[in-house]
Amino acid sequence: MGVMCTKNPTETDGTAEVVSSSPLDPLEVYNMNKTRRGLALIFNQQSFVESKLCYRCGSDIDCSNLKKSLKHLGFEVKAFTDLSESKVHAKLDKAATADHSNADCFLVVFMSHGEKNYVNAFDKTITIQEIVDKFRGTNCKSLVGKPKIFIWQACRGDKHDDPVTPCATEPTEVVEAGAVYTLPAAADFIMCYSVAEGYYSYRDPLRGSWYIQDLCELLQTYGDSLEFTHLLTLVNAKVSKRDTKMDKNGKNFEAKQVPCFASMLTKKLYFHPKQFCCQFFQLSVGERPHRQTTSHTHHLQLSVRIPQNLHISNTADMSEESFTETDGLFTRKLITTNQQVTKDSPDVYNMTKVRSGRALIFNWMQFDLALQLNPRFGSDKDYKNLKKRREDFGFEVNIFKDLKKSDVNAKLDEAAKADYSNVDCLLVVYMSHGEKDYVETYDEKLMISDITDKFRGDECKSLAGKPKIFIWQACRGSEFDEPVDSETEHLVLEAGSINVFPAGADFIMCYAVAEGYYAHRDSKNGSWYIQDLCKQLKNCGDSLEFTELLTLVNNNVSKMEDREKKKQIPCFASMLTKNLYLQKKFQNSCTVICSNLFSCVHGFSPFLKNWERLQQDLRPESDCLKCH
């Protein structure tokens, strides 16, 4: 292990050792073939002891919609309303100590007011950290390696997100009070937020909150056919198209909302219908939908009688305290597809501009001695790898080394003012030391939100609606990740908390490690995260959807450990609103034209040869003589 400065946590030096020798499968998905889908807990807080916290009108609609949507996916749903802090803990503790061995996954929905890193129960506040920690690998062994989905419906600040392009208005909206901050999660966690940190979340007293409405609608339509992060991307898109008229200081203005999700999943996640539905009746409705099915679908409604004890665990009864609920009549929609999503579909980012985009790579190896920060040996390998990978995809790459804070801001301001009309996207890579919500420059700290805010849609108009990819290679705390043993494979334990910063629609934040933990860097070969990211970009960067590629990186890095068995889990926080592919570009338009002409000529060549032969056969004898 490398020497670490005691004043400020930095990256640690270490050589990665991959625990598993099994080949990495880009198509690997979570095992969702257990007997039960899993337990879903819904905490709906409408009333509160504190008078300053208003009654959450419309939240009961959210709860009802969620119960219906989650049952539709086969979850055993348990809903709780207006519980005290102690009762919330009791329900969560009971769920955490239950046996989830025969379940696919686990899901928690918490709908309430909140502020920063906590949410409100009926009488007291609860930190999000406390909730999530109960289901970590060390505390809930039967959920190790399984998806743990947390959905937070609450405000996360006191700002409004301004629209770049005005949309239709919803007449009756209520602004939720408070804020929720992203929190410590772990391997196989995905955190779904109704709004990015720092902004209001909106709720219709008659229809329920924007986020839950759209989430439920899309769960019912595509929940059993679409990969889950793809579905959340659709939710981002749908909610981001809403707006409302708000009154601020006597002036009307349009307010927007952009959800986000922070993922440390290490495989793809699908909620396909359970096989027993079709096994009972040996139904045949053609092939299952393609995993990327979106719009053009039609539904075949089947009502199937299921034995009432089908979902009963061998270790739990069906009482209320067991947190399970089954219906005697199980109704499921089977979806068949008429159209599949491709890279050219409207629900995919348009990546056909003249230029792939601009890539800004900021790399720090040395720091002002006054900061007492270790040199980042091996970081030169990272930026060289990144430069090559980005150039492979046609990016215009700009590299900056060891800049002062003022110089960094100058470069970012210059980039934010540039014209991106003919480019696909923007990429910013920042490799330095850091802690939670800031990163280091040569001489001072720089807030991550100060970086991302420069490229918001309202600040950089030509990037509105285009992917803005931020990759952060830096530590985010002072703890290490320990391994967790499993009966089936070597699995990793939790990795700290994720900070999602107010960035706006079409951002995706890629972190080398979850907040609260060290990032590892090999002094010879570069950091674990950047090494593997570059490897995956080379192998499948032009064919795999970008969030799928990041999930693959999560998987691979999570299998690495240093000589002291310390682990690392990357994460990404997405506010993308479409699928994202990074196809390779032809070098220039002339190459494209020549390639197209060559294809046409090549296609006609058999016809031309036959035509010449036919001319020879039909040519008059006198002409043949003249030829001699």
Catalytic (active site) residue 155: yes
pLDDT value of position 121:
95
Q: Which of 63, 105, 140, 155 is catalytic?
A: 155
| Best CATH choice for the domain 12-21+349-574 from the list 3.30.390.50, 3.40.50.2300, 2.40.110.10, 3.40.50.1460 | 3.40.50.1460
The pTM of the full predicted model, rounded to 2 decimals, is: 0.59
Q: Is the pLDDT of residue 70 over 70?
A: yes
Q: Which two tokens stand for residue 92?
A: 């969560």
Give the integer Cα–Cα distance in Å for 266 and 610: 56
Average pLDDT, the chain: 68
Q: Is residue 386 within 8 Å of 531, Cβ to Cβ?
A: no
Q: Hey, is 123 helix, strand or coil?
A: coil
pLDDT value of position 77:
92
β-bridge partners, 43: 80, 110
Phi-psi region of 116 (alpha: psi -120 to 50; beta: other; left: phi over 0): left
Segment among 29-33, 66-70, 168-172, 173-177 with least mean pLDDT:
168-172
| Average confidence (pLDDT) over 508-528 | 70
Segment among 26-30, 119-123, 192-196 with least mean pLDDT:
26-30
Give the integer Cα–Cα distance in Å for 144 and 121: 28
pLDDT value of position 76:
94
pLDDT value of position 339:
38
pLDDT value of position 310:
26
Q: Is the pLDDT of residue 595 over 50?
A: no
- DSSP codes, 25-91: -TT-B----SSEEEEEEEEE----SSTTS---TTHHHHHHHHHHHHHHTT-EEEEEES--HHHHHHH
Cβ-based burial of 524 (10 A; exposed 0-12, middle 13-18, buried ≥19):
exposed
| Average confidence (pLDDT) over 181-207 | 61
C-alpha pair distances (Å), 80 with each of 115, 146, 448, 513, 550? 21, 24, 37, 34, 35
How many degrees, rounded to 5, is the angle at CA 531 between CA 528 and CA 537? Answer: 135
Give the type of residue at 462: S
β-bridge partners, 490: 485
Residues whose CB falls within 8 Å of the CB of residue 7, separated by 6 or more in sequence, listed in order:
372
Q: Label each residue of 410-472 as H, E or C.
A: HHHHHHHHCCCCCEEEEEEEEECCEECCEEECCCCEEEHHHHHHHHCCCCCHHHCCCCEEEEE
Q: Which two tokens stand for residue 210?
A: 């924007």
| Average confidence (pLDDT) over 135-150 | 82
Q: Is the pLDDT of residue 427 over 90?
A: no
Residues present in the chain in total: 628
Q: What is the bridge-based pairing of β-strands 495-497 and 184-185?
A: antiparallel
Q: Please write the tens of the pLDDT for every residue from 483-492.
A: 444 333 332 3
Give the integer Cα–Cα distance in Å for 406 and 600: 54
Are the folds of 12-21+349-574 and 36-337 the same?
A: yes
Q: Which of 72, 100, 113, 311 is catalytic?
A: 113
Q: Which two tokens stand for residue 142?
A: 């039967």
- Which sequence spans correspond to the domains of the chain? 12-21+349-574, 36-337
pLDDT value of position 24:
40
pLDDT value of position 546:
83
* Cα 284 versus chain centre, distance: 34
pLDDT more than 90, % of the chain: 14
Q: Please write the tens of the pLDDT for every residue from 212-239.
A: 788 878 878 888 888 889 988 888 888 8
End-to-end CA distance of the chain: 85
Give the integer Cα–Cα distance in Å for 509 and 416: 17
pLDDT value of position 155:
60
Q: Is the pLDDT of residue 14 over 60?
A: no
Domain 36-337 has CATH 3.30.450.20: no
Q: Please write the tens of the pLDDT for every residue from 124-139.
A: 999 887 898 898 777 8
pLDDT band at 523 (very low <50, low <70, confident <90, very high): low
| Average confidence (pLDDT) over 45-71 | 83
Sheet containing 202-204: give its strands across: 174-175, 202-204, 208-209
Q: Is residue 345 within 8 Å of 296, Cβ to Cβ?
A: no
| Average confidence (pLDDT) over 404-408 | 98
From the list 578, 574, 468, 577, the residue with the least C-alpha distance to 192 is: 574
pLDDT value of position 285:
34
Task: Identify which has the larger pLDDT, 605 or 177.
Answer: 605
C-alpha pair distances (Å), 301 with each of 72, 251, 271, 307, 338? 12, 49, 17, 19, 17
Q: What is the CA radius of gyration of the chain?
A: 27
pLDDT value of position 516:
59
Segment among 24-28, 153-157, 347-351, 357-361 with least mean pLDDT:
24-28
pLDDT value of position 600:
52
Task: Identify which has the larger pLDDT, 382 or 496.
Answer: 382
Task: Identify which has the larger pLDDT, 557 or 18.
Answer: 557
pLDDT band at 336 (very low <50, low <70, confident <90, very high): very low
pLDDT band at 87 (very low <50, low <70, confident <90, very high): very high
Q: Is the pLDDT of residue 1 over 60?
A: no
| Average confidence (pLDDT) over 168-188 | 39
Q: Is the pLDDT of residue 390 over 80?
A: no
Catalytic (active site) residue 160: no
Specify which of 217-231, 310-324, 350-364, 405-419 reaches the highest per-range mean pLDDT: 405-419
Phi-psi region of 357 (alpha: psi -120 to 50; beta: other; left: phi over 0): left
